């Protein structure tokens, strides 16, 4: 009987840790650094937020291209979109600012007006001499945040301190 109660307590504790870790990971994806803050790592969360958001901002200021999924290059363009989307809500806001809509792909048919508008924006940003650097900053910010989510997961499950 006592072992059943102890096992139930351990399972309940493990379930609570998993829920806490999931909430922290989702928060950390949505707002860089917030996952660490949710887990009580305030200073670490603020430092990571500053690094990622500064990197993302530098990317936008240097005319970095917010990648769009392209049917002609589906694998590579999807990876680029994932790298951009790794910053969560800042990526959503940037896309609305740059494309005037929440755009993650070029329309299937080039005859759509949206295809030409999005392509024009991409070409315009690519003409900047700093665009390659800006794009690298954008991808780096997203990939850093995605990597930090593994840290949040481990901290949330108390696999390490």
pLDDT, tens only, 83-113: 999 999 999 999 999 988 888 988 777 667 7
**Structural domain boundaries, residue 60:** 2-156
Distance CA 124, CA 69 (A): 18
Residue 132 lies in a domain: yes
Residue 52 falls inside a structural domain? yes
DSSP letters, 18-75, are HHHHHHHHHHHHHSTTHHHHHTT-HHHHHHHHHHHHHHHHHHHHTT-----B-TTSHH
Q: Is the Cβ–Cβ distance between 122 and 68 less than 8 Å? A: yes
Residue 78 lies in a domain: yes
What was the pLDDT predicted at 9? Answer: 53
Neighbours of 110 (CB within 10 A): 9
Give 32-80 pLDDT, tens digit per residue: 999 999 999 999 999 999 999 999 999 999 999 999 998 889 999 999 9
Residue 130: inside a domain = yes
d(C-alpha 157, C-alpha 108), whole Å: 42
CA trace torsion 106, 69, 67, 153 (10° rounding): 140
Return the pLDDT at 100.
87
Residue 129 lies in a domain: yes
161 vs 82, which has greater pLDDT? Answer: 82
Q: Is 105 helix (H, G, I), strand (E, B) or coil?
A: strand
Assess if residue 118 is contained within a domain: yes
From the list 25, 47, 45, the residue with the least C-alpha distance to 37 is 45
pTM of the model as a whole: 0.83
- Please report which confidence band the pLDDT of residue 12 belongs to, taking 50, 70 and 90 as the band edges: low
Rounded to 10 deg, the angle between the 2-30 and 131-156 helix axes is 170
pLDDT for the residue numbered 119: 80
Mean of per-residue pLDDT scores for the chain: 89
Does residue 161 belong to any structural domain of this protein? no
d(CA 143, CA 129) in angstroms, rounded, equals 23
| Position 8 confidence tier, pLDDT thresholds 50, 70, 90 | low
Structural domain tally of the chain? 1
Domain assignment present for 81: yes
Taking alpha carbons only, the member of 94, 72, 68, 71 closest to residue 82 is 68
């Amino acid at each position: 009987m006592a072992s059943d109660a102890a096992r139930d307590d351990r399972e309940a504790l493990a379930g609570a840790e998993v829920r806490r870790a999931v909430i922290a990971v989702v928060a950390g994806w949505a707002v860089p650094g917030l996952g660490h803050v949710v887990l009580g790592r305030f200073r670490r969360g603020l430092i990571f937020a500053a690094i990622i958001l500064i990197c993302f901002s530098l990317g936008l200021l240097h005319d970095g291209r917010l990648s769009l999924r392209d049917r002609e290059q589906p694998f590579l363009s999807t990876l680029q979109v994932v790298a951009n989307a790794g910053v969560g809500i800042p990526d959503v806001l940037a896309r609305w600012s740059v494309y005037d809509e929440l755009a993650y792909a070029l329309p299937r048919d080039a005859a759509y007006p949206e295809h030409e508008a999005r392509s024009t924006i991409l070409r315009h940003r690519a003409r900047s001499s700093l665009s390659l650097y800006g794009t690298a900053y954008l991808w780096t910010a997203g990939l850093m945040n995605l990597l930090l989510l593994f840290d949040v997961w481990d901290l949330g499950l108390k696999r390490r301190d």
